[in-house]
Amino acid sequence: MFNGDNYTGIRYAQKPCYGTDVVAPDWFKAPNGDIYIVFSVGYYGELHGRPEKDRMEPYIVKVNELRVA
């Protein structure tokens, strides 16, 4: 899912500090109709057999365009 600085069409403002694991994606619609995606990026210890070593950062991105695949 993570490809260089892109996540399925979303460009990060800066490269994540701790790793490239993406977990807990969710979305919400703001009262004005804007749609946002919220997720965490970093080193998710559970995926690597080291659950005590999580180092994650939250991200929120505004969806500017929706496409039907």
**How does pLDDT run across 8-50, given as a tens digit for each residue?**
555 666 666 788 888 888 999 999 998 888 888 889 999 889 9
Domain boundaries, the chain: 2-63
Per-residue pLDDT at 2? 41
**Contact by Cβ (8 Å): 43, 21:** yes
Looking at per-residue pLDDT, the higher value among 57 and 31 belongs to 31
